[in-house]
Amino acid sequence: MRVFKFGGASVKDAAGVENVVSVLQKVGHKNTLVVVSAMGKTTNALEVVIEQYRDKNPELSNSIKTLKDAHTGILTDLFKSEQHPIFAKISAIFDDLKTFLERNKSPKYDYIYDQVVSYGEIISTTILSEFLTLKGFDNDWLDARTLVKTNSTYRDAKVDWEATQQAISSTVNKQNLSITQGFIGADTNNFTTTLGREGSDYSAAIFAYCLNAESVSIWKDVDGVLNGDPRVFKNTKLLNQISYEEAIELAFYGASVIHPKTLQPLQQKEIPLYVKSFINPENVGTSVSKGQTLEPFIPCFIVKKNQVLISLSSLDFSFIVEENISEIFSLFHKYQVKVDLIQNTAISFSVCVNNKFGHLQDLIAELRAKFDVSFEENVSLYTIRHFDQAAAEGLEKDKTILLKQLGTETYQIVTKQ
Ligand code: ASP
Ligand code: MG
């Protein structure tokens, strides 16, 4: 059986949903589990809803209404007749969301975030499943919260593999077409959890692993994995084959095509991952599998924007040794600051980090008790895998470089902006 993943961009409007159906028609729809993200920019819109709820912003109900209207517009395009039960179904889901917000007593932001943001996927899968039924494709709508079991680290939940394996094996009918949500799961109290932004690819890998799938296909609006984000880099080329190890490296350095955690479960069972175009589904796309490192073997460019460069030195010019380093790392862990690059000398230590949870100020305050700390926000981290001189020179042009690091395979610079 196969696992497919359709991201937000592929179901951003009625035409997108119709296209998913046509892809399934072309490539077959039996023995397939389809993992779907929230439609278009719904997750971002729900993040705004969550912030407005926290801030008691009077715009809150308008924002929910705008989101509901956008989905209702798609329903009208897809189902035409408002008599179709899907209208009442989606309306009831929005009522549920409002009821949650009215009744919630928890002050915990991350918990609230997951309970609310997950509606995006519940809604998108409900719409797709009903539309497939309308088009004559029998399918099972599965609630991922009953299948992907996690701990209670809201917004960054860790999978309980044993419980997940058990739930998936006993529920999913491999012969059928199943539709389920990416990104979401539930903890032991059955509260919704999420696997981190852009986590739907990872969900697809979790399902594939537990189902011993023959492959995972991620359907995208590009032809496959390119050697750089075409919105940032010029003259990008399609990669035909990438080994798991290389893909993990690329993801680690921030290549946004594949979620960092997605590949490990697939590699363990040697399940190939195909990245394919939902516009040209007959094209082969990119295969991430056991085999050649990279084909064609060319430099790959990655950028991470909005990073923070933190430099630490000891207050008394003493060396920064293992003991300090482990202390520094435990603070990064405590404040959920993700480290992307490390450079250290005897008395100083520089790291480029991601402040996606917004705990930077607290971290800096705690570090200042022990170290001399300086930091610069809004820096960019550029990485070239398999660099050559021409690639490095081209990248450095017109940039203010704050830090540079070279390895045998990897070249990295931190630049202003
Ligand atoms: N909808 C979620 C997000 O936008 C998950 C995903 O798309 O992978 O982050
Ligand atoms: Mg999304």
Q: For 20-45, what is the mean pLDDT?
A: 97
Ligand 1 near 43 CB (within 6 A): yes
Is pLDDT of 258 > 80?
no
**Strands, sheet with 32-36, edge to edge from the N-terminal-most edge strand:** 140-142, 177-181, 32-36, 2-6, 215-220, 273-277, 286-288, 241-242, 294-295
CA distance 278 to 25: 12
**Minimum CA distance residue for ligand 1 atom 3:** 198
Q: Which atom of ligand 1 is nearest the CA belonging to 196?
A: 9
355 CB neighbour count, 10 Å cutoff:
19
CA distance 31 to 201: 19
pTM of the predicted model as reported, rounded to 2 decimal places: 0.84
CA of 256 to the centre of ligand 2 (A): 12
Identify whether the C-beta of residue 168 lies closer than 8 Å to the C-beta of residue 159.
no
Q: pLDDT confidence of 89, banded at 50, 70, 90? A: very high
Neighbours of ion ligand 2 (CB under 5 A): 8, 37, 43
CA of 369 to the centre of ligand 1 (A): 38
Ligand 1 near 10 CB (within 6 A): no
Identify whether the C-beta of residue 371 lies closer than 8 Å to the C-beta of residue 395.
no
Is pLDDT of 320 > 90?
no
- What is the residue-wise DSSP string for 318-340? ----HHHHHHHHHHHHHTTPEEE
Is pLDDT of 335 > 70?
yes
CA of 118 to the centre of ligand 2 (A): 11
Q: Is pLDDT larger for residue 381 or for residue 358?
A: 381
pLDDT at 257: 65
- What confidence tens digit (pLDDT) does each residue in 389-398 have? 999 999 999 9
Is pLDDT of 107 > 80?
yes
Q: pLDDT confidence of 323, banded at 50, 70, 90? A: confident
Q: pLDDT confidence of 27, banded at 50, 70, 90? A: very high
CA of 35 to the centre of ligand 2 (A): 12
Question: Ligand nearest 201 Cα, by number?
Answer: 1
Ligand 1 near 40 CB (within 6 A): no
For 225, the enclosing helix (H) or strand (E) is: none
